[in-house]
Amino acid sequence: MNRPERTLFDAELQLFADAVMQFLKAEAVPHREAWEEAGVVDRALWLKAGEQGLLCPNVPEAYGGVGADFRYNALVDEAIMRLGLTGIGFGLHSDIVAPYILHYGSDAQKEQYLPAMVRGECITAIAMTEPGTGSNLQGIQTTAVPDGDGWLLNGAKTFITNGQNADLVIVVAKTDPDAGSRGFSLFLLDAGTAGFSKGKNLKKVGLKAQDTSELFFDSVHLPGEALLGERGAGLKYLMQELPQERLSVAINAVAHAEAVLAETLNYTRERQAFGKPIAAFQNTQFKLAELDSELTMMRVFIDQCLAWHIDGQLDAVMAAKAKYLSTDLQCKVADDCVQLHGGYGYMWEYPVARAWADARVQRIYAGTNEIMKLIIGRSLLEDG
């Protein structure tokens, strides 16, 4: 597949990208099958990744990081997806959780958690989704009420990435029931705290090596310093950080789709039907041309979104467009590539089958694509 040079990434970044690929090929690819069977990635990988500087690269040097920009996060995300290692939860840890602590945490919270996160000693998760809320964050029912000099946390969360491995969870809870959007706050909860329990590791259609869990809070006492940022500012913080989360999803989507298409191109060259390679048929060539063209366009757009983000110019609407368009295309590419594989495309041992199963959730999490359309549509009406 022909692609223009990605001018956003200089020689230094390319060396970093090559190092990430080499690390993952050596330390992760050989264990993928075992991790899928276990439903969780070995914690040892996190420690090795920390040693190599692959975790939380945007954390400042004062807290053990290197203070890099988001391009480094993007390259780690892309390498993971290109190799089909979709169970590895580095993106959630580095792209989503770390910024909350970095942007809203106290000095003490940053000093306590960020260095350990960079080293891979503290694996993190963020607990937003609840059994009855889905994308409606204002419907959250988990509560945190004042309790002496701290808080009493009660409720449940579900579909929590890194849930089994998590040493630290950012919990979204209702603190002021009558305050509307100002009624929610964020809390830092350490695993092992009395009353906090992890439910079963959920079995999913795809992402089989990724630990995704239910979490339960039964009269969990949190000290006052567990509050992250200001009381009542939880939803505001979520809205401020969601553009980066959605960009991260979009980066994953394009890299994953590109890898699936490259694998399918090789397959159609080798697979014979009616005495000639599948790639020799006009239908195959037209389909490959269509997918490659659409991915070229999407790659340019997502790289531009990344550039805007680094410059502080990626807003919620553009991030919604990136997430919606890229994940829809990711699913289309995966589905069409399964079709080009024929019956073999439905066999789990083939990368395209895994890709097809793994891609589907991308249109659901970080806000469903229907929510993305609402964000975009409302912005158009407001502009009018």
Encode pLDDT of 43-100 as tens digits: 999 999 999 999 999 999 999 999 999 999 999 999 999 999 999 999 999 999 999 9
Tell whether the model's pLDDT for residue 337 goes beyond 90: yes
Which DSSP string corresponds to 227-279?
Answer: EESSTT-HHHHHHHHHHHHHHHHHHHHHHHHHHHHHHHHHHHHH-EETTEEGG
Q: What is the DSSP letter of 229?
A: S
160 pLDDT above the threshold of 80: yes
pLDDT the model gives residue 2: 66
* Ranges for all domains in the chain classified under CATH 1.10.540.10: 11-122
Residues acting as catalytic residues:
245
- Residue appearing with tokens 């919606």: 324
Both tokens of 310, joined, read 């680094």
CATH of domain 236-383: 1.20.140.10
Tokens linked to 65: 């990081």
Overall fold of domain 11-122: Butyryl-Coa Dehydrogenase, subunit A; domain 1 (1.10.540)
Could you report the per-residue pLDDT of 286-296, keeping only the tens digit for each? 999 999 999 99
- Which CATH superfamily hosts domain 125-232? Butyryl-CoA Dehydrogenase, subunit A, domain 2 (2.40.110.10)
Q: How does strand 168-174 pair with strand 124-127?
A: parallel
User: 3-state class of 35 per DSSP?
Assistant: helix
* Residue predicted with more confidence, 138 or 272: 272
Q: Rounded to whole angstroms, what are the CA distances from 33 to 36, 77, 261, 354?
A: 5, 20, 22, 12
User: Which of the 8 DSSP states describes residue 348?
Assistant: T
Note the pLDDT of residue 132. Answer: 80
In 3D space, the residue among 299, 351, 350 whose CA is nearest the CA of residue 329 turns out to be 299
How far apart, in whole angstroms, are the C-alpha atoms of residue 334 and residue 359?
7
What is the share, in percent, of the chain residues with pLDDT greater than 90? 93
**Collapsing DSSP states into helix, strand and coil, what is residue 309?**
helix
219 Cβ contact partners less than 8 Å away, ≥ 6 residues apart: 152, 153, 154, 195
pLDDT given for residue 137 in this prediction: 76
- Residue type at position 311: D
User: What average pLDDT does the segment 6-15 reach?
Assistant: 91
Cα 13–chain centre separation: 21
For CATH 2.40.110.10, list the domain ranges present in the chain.
125-232
Question: What is the predicted pLDDT for the residue at 340?
Answer: 97
Question: 39 to each of 87, 168, 207, how far by Cα in Å?
Answer: 8, 20, 9
Residue-level pLDDT at 122: 98
Residues with Cβ within 8 Å of 141's Cβ and at least 6 positions away in sequence, in order, are 130, 132, 133, 155, 174
At 133 the pLDDT is: 78
Is 4 a residue whose pLDDT tops 80? no
Which band of pLDDT confidence, cut at 50, 70 and 90, is reported for residue 139?
confident
